[in-house]
Amino acid sequence: MATNLDLAAALTAKARAFADRHSPAAPLPLANAWDVASARVVEAAGAPAVATTSAGVAWSLGSPDGDVLARDRALDLVARVAAAVSVPVTADIEGGFGADPAGVGETVAGVLAAGAVGINIEDGGRTPAEFAERVAAARAAATAAGVPLFINARVDTYLRGLGDPATRLDETLARAAAYLRAGATGVFVPGVTDPATITELAKGIDAPLNILVGPGAPSVAELGTLGVARVSLGSWVAEAAYAVVRRATEELLAAGTYGSLADSLPYGELNSLLKG
């Protein structure tokens, strides 16, 4: 029977392997999953890690994104995904699924118990001081569990258009520094695809920089040359999957044809990923 020490040791090994993959020389590419099947598909495609998308997870469970999904449902999904793949898993926990820092610590304990070795946690509309307390609570919970959890602190200045555009870069760097002092491992700045801005972020953040990408963004290799260590598709993959549902339905109803399904993953291939 595995002991808590055995489980902590196994998680620590995965956490270190996951952290080691963050490098501008070869940025960590993450195609975010939202259920067991999508996680198995991502792993089978050769991904070195699986990241969940909070939006995709929430939608798949019948909830909107944005700190609405109940913690226990989110953690159950993380546990299912972590048990289904052999690569490291990092979980998007939105704002921490807790009303206060203590609640965030409880969430992180649950994330580790579920088998994940990383988290994304977002500052959203919180003040930098409030969010730093949440990051500190997350780090304290990971330390108590004996696991070097990779805490990816999301700075939403660009994504939400916070503050004065003229000082947004400085504000972003100040927030990033505060979150790193509080115990974050890396910094995630979604909403930025401009090479010049990304370069300044990479220069000013003393930790692995994560960028959110989608159509029109620089390639993974190009981002690496700018100093980016981690590249995420976020909710784009789930959005694309649901777009297929809508296109197929509209085609079926309007034209009575089925061309939207031409590039589907074969039934047998997908089914085999869920066996054993």
CA distance 200 to 146: 34
Residue at 263 is within a domain? no
All residues at 6 or more sequence positions from 192 whose CB lies less than 8 Å from its CB, including other chains: 158, 198, 201, 211, 212
Question: How many structural domains is the chain composed of?
Answer: 1
With bands split at pLDDT 50, 70 and 90, how would you rate the model's confidence at 247?
very high
> Residue 99 carries which DSSP code?
S
Q: Is the C-alpha dihedral spanning 263, 264, 269, 273 positive or negative? A: positive
In a domain, 261, yes or no: no
pTM (predicted TM-score)? 0.95
Strand residue runs (E) in 41-181? 50-51, 89-92, 118-122, 150-154
Q: What is the CATH number of the domain that holds 101?
A: 3.20.20.60
Q: How far apart are the first and last CA of the chain?
A: 21
Is residue 260 in some structural domain? no
The pLDDT of residue 2 is 58
Bridge pairing between strands 230-232 and 209-212: parallel
Q: Is 244 within the bounds of a domain?
A: no
What confidence tens digit (pLDDT) does each residue in 39-49 have? 999 999 999 99
pLDDT, tens digit (0-9, with 9 covering 90-100), for 92-118: 999 999 999 999 999 999 999 999 999
Q: Which residues contact 146 (CB under 8 A, 6 or more apart)?
A: 5, 8, 12
Decide if 132 is inside a domain: yes
**Cα angle: 196, vertex 29, 42; to 5 degrees:** 150
- Structural domain containing residue 164: 4-235
Q: Which pLDDT does position 4 carry in this prediction? A: 74
Indicate whether 35 belongs to any domain. Answer: yes
Res 142 pLDDT > 80: yes
Domain annotation covers residue 47: yes
Q: Is residue 88 part of a domain?
A: yes
Alpha-carbon Rg for the chain in angstroms: 19
Cβ atoms of residues 205 and 178 within 8 Å: no
